[in-house]
Chain A
Amino acid sequence: MKKTLQILTLALLLAGLFTGVALAQDDTPTDDEVNAIASQLYCPVCENTPLDVCPTEACRQWRELIRLQLSQGMTETEIKQYFMDNYGARVLAEPPRAGLNWLVYLLPPAIILLGAFFLFRSFREWTKPKVEAAGVGGERGAASSPEKDDYVARLEEELKKRK
């Protein structure tokens, strides 16, 4: 029993050792790591296709390039910068915040805010109790209620006083 336990312990130790070696040797970036960056880039050949799902040969080469750059220790920012320098800003899923690109970031929220403001104003107008437009000399609705009659009478009295 004791011997079996010793053999088992040794086997476990060796297994752990080899696993460690295997992990240390395998420093090739995984597809998930590559795609995490590729999904933030777009194929310049076929429009509107993210790099991680693009089936063209060009995109396959690019994904391999990302894998190589990751294995060389380049960061995500450095890789994206490399792609922008080499292929232009249009390959970035998120355009750089500069120049006319600011419109992309500022315009939609501005339009939403403006729309919300006008909607708020309109709703407020609609829900406000309507003040009768019948002013001086207005007959429309004047005789519709006793309150109105009273109001018109007072108004006429005021006007007479001013004459």
Chain B
Amino acid sequence: MTETTPQKRGVPLWVQIVIWAFLVALLALVGVILGKRQQGTVQPGDKIPDFTLPLFSGYEYEGQSEVKLSDFQGKIVVLNFWASWCKPCEQEAAELEEAWKFYEPSGKVIFLGADYVDTEPEARAYLKKFGITFFNGPDMGTKISQLFRIRGVPETYFIDQNGALYYVKIGPFLSVDEIKSIIDQKLQ
């Protein structure tokens, strides 16, 4: 005659390990994503990774329908994020164009406009309205704005001849002189 004592069956050890490992991985993932979100924009001194900006027709660069940052090695790049629905962008549109006209003949400075989450007809109307002639194109899939981790528009990033960021302007420029002073500090 044998009596068996019923044993309490727990969750197998391997299941517990898998569940805990999964929870830790999930928390780590959430942590990384939240950390990236709170990083803010890229900072002066950061080397900017290469990116490609498709250009609107009529705004091509030397016949190319898209440009890369690496195409402008040795030049100062002024990258302006804007949108046609953005009222503060209108405040600086004329100043940016004036500054572009000033530096264009030298060939040492390039102005790029990245149109942020916009519709093409409105973007074109905006460019026409403010007589903008520097290279402009849509930020397809918001890839470039995500690269720079922009918080809104307008924002302008000044990249030096070596491809490193040296100045960030959040909000609209107040005058052409403000733009010139930022560019000139790297031209000299």
User: Could you list which residues of chain A lie within 8 angstroms of chain B, going by C-beta atoms?
Assistant: 44-45, 56-58, 61-62, 64-65, 84-88, 90, 100, 103, 107, 114, 125, 131, 135, 155, 158
B84 within 8 A of A: yes
Chain A interface, >50% SS class? helix
With A61-B122, A131-B5 given, is the CB distance from A45 to B140 under 8 Å?
A: no
B83 within 8 A of A: yes
Interface residues on B, range: 20 to 34
Which residues of the other chain, A, contact B83 by a CB distance below 8 angstroms? 58
User: Would A57 and B117 count as touching, CB distance under 8 A?
Assistant: no
Which residues of the other chain, A, contact B175 by a CB distance below 8 angstroms? none
User: Would A61 and B84 count as touching, CB distance under 8 A?
Assistant: yes
Within the complex, which residue of B8, B29, B117 is in contact with A58, where a contact is CB–CB below 8 Å? B117
User: Would A61 and B119 count as touching, CB distance under 8 A?
Assistant: yes
Output the least CB separation between B118 and chain A (Å): 7
User: Could you list which residues of chain B lie within 8 angstroms of chain A, going by C-beta atoms?
Assistant: 1, 3, 5-6, 8, 19, 26, 29, 83-85, 117-119, 122, 138, 140-143, 146
Nearest residue (CB) in A for B153 is: A45
Output the least CB separation between A51 and chain B (Å): 11
User: Would A44 and B117 count as touching, CB distance under 8 A?
Assistant: yes
Nearest residue (CB) in B for A107 is: B26
23 A-B contacts, Cβ less than 8 Å apart? Answer: A44-B117, A45-B85, A45-B117, A56-B85, A58-B85, A58-B117, A58-B118, A61-B84, A61-B85, A61-B122, A62-B119, A65-B119, A85-B141, A86-B141, A87-B117, A87-B141, A88-B142, A88-B143, A103-B26, A107-B26, A114-B19, A135-B5, A155-B3
CA of A131 to CA of B8 in the docked complex: distance in angstroms? Answer: 11
Query: Interface centre among A56, A58, A65, A103, by most B CB within 10 Å?
Result: A58
CA of A125 to CA of B7 in the docked complex: distance in angstroms? Answer: 12
Which residues of the other chain, A, contact B3 by a CB distance below 8 angstroms? 155
Output the least CB separation between B2 and chain A (Å): 9
Which residues of the other chain, B, contact A158 by a CB distance below 8 angstroms? 1
Known contacts A85-B140, A107-B26; 14 further A-B pairs (Cβ under 8 A): A44-B117, A45-B85, A58-B85, A58-B118, A61-B85, A61-B119, A62-B119, A84-B141, A86-B140, A87-B117, A88-B141, A103-B26, A125-B8, A158-B1
